Amino acid sequence: MRLPEGPGWSPDGGKFWVKGDLLYWHDGTIWDMRDGCIIRSMHYDHDEDYSAWSDEKRAAVLAENRAEYAKIKAEDDCYNAERTRLRESARAKLTPEEIEACNLEDDDDY
């Protein structure tokens, strides 16, 4: 399904704008709808016409962003593994009552 050009709203209330193959998300993310990849994940330059980029430039930026994403994901995975290890270590020192009192039951939001 192709989104129509112009403004739109996601089901969760997020605002976006579609121009050509690109979806400009309200937080500054730009998606290439041809393959679902992020072109730019930081705040984009409103004066830049990303839809006018050549396929070569778009591919180069996508490759750069995929590499950056892979790096960030690896760092996140490492951080999450360490956080899980520390949580499990701390949890092992508590009784079930203390875990319940601290609201540590499978809660990943702390």
5-34 confidence digits (pLDDT tens): 888 887 777 787 888 777 777 766 777 777
Domain that residue 90 falls in: 53-109
Residues 41 and 61 both lie in one domain: no
Residues 71 and 47 both lie in one domain: no
At 86 the pLDDT is 76
At 43 the pLDDT is 47
Mean pLDDT of the chain: 72
Residues 26 and 62 both lie in one domain: no
CB-based contacts of 16, cutoff 8 Å, min separation 6: 7, 8, 9, 10, 23, 24, 25, 26
At 107 the pLDDT is 46
Length of the chain: 110
Place of tokens 């989104």: 3
Give the pLDDT confidence of 66-86 residue by residue, as tens digits.
787 788 778 888 888 887 887
Residues 18 and 59 both lie in one domain: no
At 45 the pLDDT is 58
CA angle 79, 36, 70 (to 5 degrees): 25
